[in-house]
């Protein structure tokens, strides 16, 4: 009997081993299935942290009193659900000196797996900057750093804060020094005088001015010669001088004795007010100028010996 029992026991052990192997194979398949489902769910839900980049800083308007900036903030949503941006805070400084700060509430929402450029307007008061930091001089160019903190509400993760920073250079514009050097006489009659105002423009900034328009009004002896606008193209280099010629027409009878003082070469008291439109490395600028009292004389139209100045490119 012992000789017949041994094969039977071996057959039973083989069946048990096959059953165990079948169970392990089934469990492995279940584990792989659950793992695959988890990967697919994680990929579909993607509850990741959003990403933000300060892609550009634009100077939309510049003058001696204010700088208007527009910041382009690119926010990317890596989630399958929309996110909201309840708050965006900024700090603008120069070498650790605070220049401006503020916030933009309700900055918007970003669609699932989408991206948006959030526009952040910023206004810098140069008067406030010079009052708080007297060592920042008009006409200079200073380094700046702008730091942003963007609050984002992410589903199932709560509120997260995105931080971005960008460095650059900021101009502190100074108004040009403008003088009426002379009045060039082109044509004279009892009814009308055609003349050219020769304006000396002194650029007191650490950057070139590409002058493309001049608007000015000049008074001789308290009487206005009229308001004129001239389109042009001239470059006045940094800390250099240039001459702008503005044609005018006026009636001698309207000026009274002032025009005859000019014609006789005795000179006349003048006042002037206007502005220059100029292109700069930072963007377009509008620079006002003015003079309450000065003295000028009439010269012949072809007398240009005083119109050549270093610092002007045409």
Q: What is the pLDDT of residues 222-269, one digit of tens each?
A: 888 888 899 999 999 999 999 999 998 888 777 666 666 665 656 678
The per-residue pLDDT for 185 is 79
Q: Mind listing the pLDDT tens digit for each residue in 81-92? A: 999 999 999 999
> Does 180 score more than 70 pLDDT?
yes
User: Sign of the CA dihedral 300, 305, 311, 314?
Assistant: positive
Lowest mean pLDDT among 152-161, 181-190, 225-234: 181-190
Element spanning 211, H or E: strand 209-220
Residue 223 CA to residue 11 CA, distance in Å, equals 126
Q: CB atoms < 10 A from the CB of 229, how many?
A: 12
Under 8 Å between Cβ of 128 and 134: no
pLDDT band for position 152 (50/70/90)?
Answer: very high
The per-residue pLDDT for 171 is 97
Distances (CA, A) of 297 to 97, 197, 254, 262, 288: 48, 11, 18, 6, 24
Distances (CA, A) of 11 to 1, 4, 19, 21, 24: 16, 12, 13, 16, 20
Please list, residue by residue across 255-275, b when 16 or more beta carbons sit within 10 angstroms of its beta carbon and e when fewer do.
Answer: beebbebbbeeeebebbbbbb
> Does 9 score more than 50 pLDDT?
no
Q: Are strands 223-236 and 209-220 parallel, antiparallel or unpaired?
A: antiparallel
Lowest mean pLDDT among 17-31, 95-109, 207-221, 280-294: 17-31
Mean pLDDT to the nearest integer, 188-216: 91
> Does 44 score more than 50 pLDDT?
no
Distances (CA, A) of 7 to 15, 17, 19, 234, 251: 13, 16, 19, 111, 135
The per-residue pLDDT for 10 is 44
> Does 16 score more than 80 pLDDT?
no
Q: Are strands 177-188 and 298-300 parallel, antiparallel or unpaired?
A: parallel
Lowest mean pLDDT among 32-36, 115-119, 178-182, 230-234: 32-36
**Token output for 11:** 């057959």
Query: Which has the closest alpha carbon to 211: 142, 292, 70, 311?
Result: 311
**Token output for 191:** 């009814």
Residue 72 CA to residue 131 CA, distance in Å, equals 29
User: Sign of the CA dihedral 178, 180, 184, 185?
Assistant: positive
Residue-averaged pLDDT of the chain: 83
Terminal C-alpha separation, the chain: 122
Estimate to the nearest angstrom the gap between the alpha carbon of 176 and the chain centroid: 22
- Domains of the chain (ranges; CATH) run 51-171 (2.60.40.1820), 177-313 (2.60.40.1820)
Mean pLDDT to the nearest integer, 35-43: 52
> Does 215 score more than 60 pLDDT?
yes
Let me know if 73 is exposed, middle or buried by CB neighbors in 10 A (0-12, 13-18, 19+): buried
């Amino acid at each position: 009997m012992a000789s017949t029992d041994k094969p039977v026991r071996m057959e039973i052990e083989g069946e048990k081993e096959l059953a165990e192997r079948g169970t392990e194979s089934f469990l492995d398949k279940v584990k792989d299935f659950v793992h695959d489902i988890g990967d697919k769910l994680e990929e579909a839900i993607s509850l990741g942290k959003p990403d933000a980049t300060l892609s550009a800083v634009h100077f939309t308007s510049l003058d001696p009193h204010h700088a208007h900036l527009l910041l382009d903030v690119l926010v990317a949503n890596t989630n399958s659900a929309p996110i909201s941006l309840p708050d965006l805070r900024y700090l603008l400084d120069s070498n650790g000196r605070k220049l401006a700060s503020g916030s933009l509430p309700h900055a918007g929402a970003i669609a699932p797996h989408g991206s948006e450029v959030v526009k952040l307007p910023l206004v810098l008061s140069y008067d406030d900057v010079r009052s708080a930091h007297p060592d920042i001089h008009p006409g200079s160019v200073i380094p700046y750093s702008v730091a942003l903190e963007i609050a984002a509400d992410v589903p199932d993760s709560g509120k997260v804060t995105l931080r971005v920073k960008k460095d650059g250079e900021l101009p502190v514009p100074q108004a040009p020094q403008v003088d009426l050097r002379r009045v060039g006489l082109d044509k004279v009659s009892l009814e009308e005088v055609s003349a050219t105002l020769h304006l000396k423009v002194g650029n007191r900034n650490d950057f070139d001015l590409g002058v493309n328009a001049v608007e000015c009004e000049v008074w001789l002896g308290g009487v206005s010669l009229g308001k004129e606008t001239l389109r042009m193209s001239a470059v006045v280099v940094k800390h250099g001088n240039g001459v702008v010629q503005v044609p005018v027409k006026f009636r001698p009878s309207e000026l009274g004795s002032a025009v005859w003082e000019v014609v006789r070469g005795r000179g006349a008291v003048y006042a002037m007010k206007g502005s220059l439109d100029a292109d700069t490395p930072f963007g377009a600028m509008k620079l006002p100028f003015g003079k309450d009292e000065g003295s000028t004389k009439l010269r012949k139209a072809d007398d240009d010996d005083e119109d050549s100045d270093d610092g002007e490119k045409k």
